[in-house]
Homo-oligomer: A and B are copies of this chain.
Amino acid sequence: MRPPTTELSPTQRSAALAHRDGFRDAPTKPANLAAMTHFDLETDVLVVGYGCAGAAAAFEAASTGAQVLVLDKAGGPGGASALSGGEIYLGGGTPVQQACGFDDSPEQMAAFLRAALGPGADAQKITLYSADSVEHFHWLADRGVPFKPSLWDTPTWVPPTDDGLMWLGENSWPFTELATPAPRGHRPTAQDFGGKLLMDVLVSAAESAGVTARFDTVATNLIVAEDGSVAGVRARRYGQEFTVRAHRGVVLTTGGFVDNEQMLAAHAPRLLGHTKVSAGADDGSGIRMAQTIGAAVRHMSTGQVGLSLIPGFAARGLVVNGRGQRFVTEDTYPGRIGQAALFRQDLDIWVILDEQAYEDVPEPQRWGVQPTHVAETAGELGDLLGLPPGALAATLARYNEFASRGADPDFHKAPRWLRPLTPPLAAIDIKAGVRPPGQTTARRGTGASVFTLGGLHTTVDGEVRHLDGHSIPGLYAAGRASAGLHGEGYISGTSLGDGTYFGRRAGRAAARHA
């Protein structure tokens, strides 16, 4: 969950300007290499987009000795990564996990990810990502990303502390039955949101490795040779067009398409109308440029769904649908609740709690959220919410009976969170939004903040696959411009995680390409 922003950041302002520059309507069709008489710029590896995947790709390519240029639409690097919470999904026995007393293995990590990111997750990528996760931890640490070896132990979107490790659903049902639980959410040492710190470190590392960048620059078309290989891009900066020859490869790290309403309508209509989690530039341009030369995509209908739902309330209370039924394990990773709420319950949900549940959540973790409805009995509360008669009372009676026995056979909430709820009772309408620390008003909306997970179909080395199955020579992608690890499911940390990991692999592969 991101805090509402009342002012545009420099990155956002720049993206807004780029919008006015018309990049949404830019032609995406390929330009023909044979028709080019000269190039304005030349490089070995060209990276389009300077978020986490672009920075990782650029660093690794430059580290092999290749000349690397990065283009970004915004006025500086960072993209959506810099606005994120900073969680990176890592495991298999990292030093942080070990310091916190957790055993883990690549096999258990992969088993969890296959279940949490599916159906349709990329099993081959998950196996490799899990096997290399400790190495990837050290790569991040060696670049200068700090991880404090301490655990935040309760369900949350982002810990309100600088703890470096958190659970992302591994200790919740059904995953407890599928893999040995270990917390794998690693986050840079930062109060609140760590994405900015992560990007500062990665961009600094890239610059030190010799990477150069051009900002306020929109890549509009791929330049393609007669044999189908990608040779560079056409781009535009403040209305001026220019060409870039990439002798070894082009890496698309342009992000997803949550800012492109036409693409949402065509592929992911359920994501329309909610708050967009992006820096304003996730317009799918990289995906479309590649598609015009026959690139394949995967899972374009899928998305992350962040809710203005306080996980501490949910874990201590109930989450019910419009029929007053429970439908999800309340103490799981809250993004999992979000996907279930939007894709399975049409966002028709309520959080139910009693006074103690409210009081048990420390004030800073409440984010200013207060009950929207209060009543003396479950029956009255259900009536207030417009639920079918008696439905909430029946659900609560059943839950309370289980809670008093310390076991929840319906949704297997952990015993730690089971306690009978006693009247008076309260409900929270997620549409009422949150009031982050330091702000005086909540932001109303649908209660959901979304971004897309689908994108280009890539090999484990970031090669973009053609519809025919072969890799398109000279074209690479990583981050949310690709589908990455993901099938339909999502876990925080897999975006920055697969963005940096497969970004690195794409950068190295592009630098190797003849």
Contact = CB atoms under 8 A, between A and B. Distances in A.
A200 B7 CA distance: 65
Nearest to A293: B294
B296 A294 contact: no
A292 B468 CA distance: 9
Interface in A353-402: 388-391, 394, 398
A299 interface: yes
Interface in A1-47: 27-29
A120 interface: yes
A504 interface: no
A464 to B, nearest CB: 14
Contact of A120 (B27, B269, B391): B269
A173 to B, nearest CB: 12
Interface in A129-170: none
B300 A118 contact: no
Nearest to A465: B266
Interface of A is mostly: loop
A512 to B, nearest CB: 26
Contact of A294 (B270, B272, B291): B291
B468 A27 contact: yes
A246 to B, nearest CB: 22
A308 interface: no
Contacts of A388: 409-410
A409 B389 contact: yes
B468 A267 contact: no
Contacts of A99: none
B457 A266 contact: yes
A65 interface: no
Contacts of A292: 294, 466-468
A398 B409 contact: no
Nearest to A120: B269
Contact of A267 (B298, B411, B466): B298
Interface of A: 27-29, 118-120, 262, 265-267, 269-270, 272, 288, 291-292, 294, 296-302, 323, 325-326, 343-344, 388-391, 394, 398, 409-411, 457, 466-469, 487-488
